[in-house]
Amino acid sequence: MTKIDQARKPREGEELDAARLESWLRDTLPELQGEVSISQFPGGASNLTYMVQVGDTELVLRRPPFGANIASAHDMGREYRVLSRLSAVMPQAPKPLAYCEDESVLGAPFYVMERIKGVILRRELPKDLGFGPDECRQLSESLLDVQQQLHSIDYTAAGLSELGKPEGYVERQVRGWDGRWEKAITDDIQDAPQVRQWLMDKQPGDSGYVGIIHNDYKFDNVILDPVDPTKLIGVLDWEMATLGDPLMDLGCSMAYWVQADDPAPLQVARMGPTHVPGMLTRRELVARYAERAGMKLDNFDFYYVFGLFRLAVIVQQIYRRYYEGKTRDERFAVFGQMAMLLNRTAAAAIEASDL
């Protein structure tokens, strides 16, 4: 069995009020018995994730980041409702247990859910996995396949037809993220007019496909089986899930996928072990998706460029919080440079595109 993802001491400035949380837990989940302890999972640059242990029971708590003012991106109640229904039809979706909207408890709404114990991959592939090219290929296929399965869920039968408005989704996303960039840009960051205009001009309209989309689907948001880490047993971070065009979701995932032949600057910014021998390339992943979904993907360049720009906006939004002193997390000091790198990568993809 390989090492299960572990929580650590909460980061400075991100500690929770243990006494208030314990009181709420005793009132809300009285069946839980034992001493309460709190630790924090190391990943995540948006909503914060903690492990709360009550006796022998391990829970996961999710709350918005301190200093955030983008309410729609940190709607804990919405995330709780989505998981409440999705966990009934998707084995990899964790089951939520209780939601708190009383901000006097922890300073913001939050919820707790069951903990799925497993392996979470971050920047590097752990040596104790013992993965060679064959296992890496299986893993990348599993990652893609679970995403495609999510997109194919009958969202009406699951009670999630009100999750979003799929009509006009592509246009709303392009305009919405362009507007978010305008609000997030800081004086020390270069604009990306070429990328922004290209996305406006080349948007293909809705593909005709509608599904539940995760909107941040990548390695460090999935949990691998500790016995067979080529299999996915959990998917985390549902804060941006909605109904929309699955190709937009796939494009956002491909923005994270830095492969072995990508330029050196991208390798430095890589967030997961997507470059190791055996991992499918972006082109291979897109081809596998198209085959499994039974669709043609002749214009995927648009979705990939959109994914890169959208990721640049998210990174820049986080950097602005750091720039304005609303977070002291030093991980975010380089996020402005990362946003510009993503926009340069999008511009290079545009230059190579036939669209």
pLDDT tens digits, 315-347: 999 999 999 998 888 989 999 999 999 999 999
pTM metric for this prediction: 0.91
pLDDT at site 282: 97
Q: Provide the pLDDT for residue 6.
A: 84
Q: What is the CATH code for 132-352?
A: 3.90.1200.10
Q: Residue 73: what pLDDT?
A: 52
Q: Residue 123 has what pLDDT? A: 92
Phi and psi angles of residue 98, each rounded to the nearest 5 degrees, phi first: -160, 150
CATH domain 18-114 topology = Phosphorylase Kinase; domain 1 (3.30.200)
User: For the chain, which ranges sit under pLDDT 50?
Assistant: 1, 70, 72
Q: Which helix (H) or strand (E) holds 139?
A: helix 133-151
The Cα–Cα gap between 155 and 140 comes to 25
Can you give the residue ranges of every domain in the chain?
Answer: 18-114, 132-352
Q: Are 89 and 153 in contact (CB under 8 A)?
A: yes
Look up residue 173 and give its two tokens: 């996303």
Q: Which of 170, 148, 157 is nearest to 214 (CA)?
A: 148
pLDDT of residue 1: 47
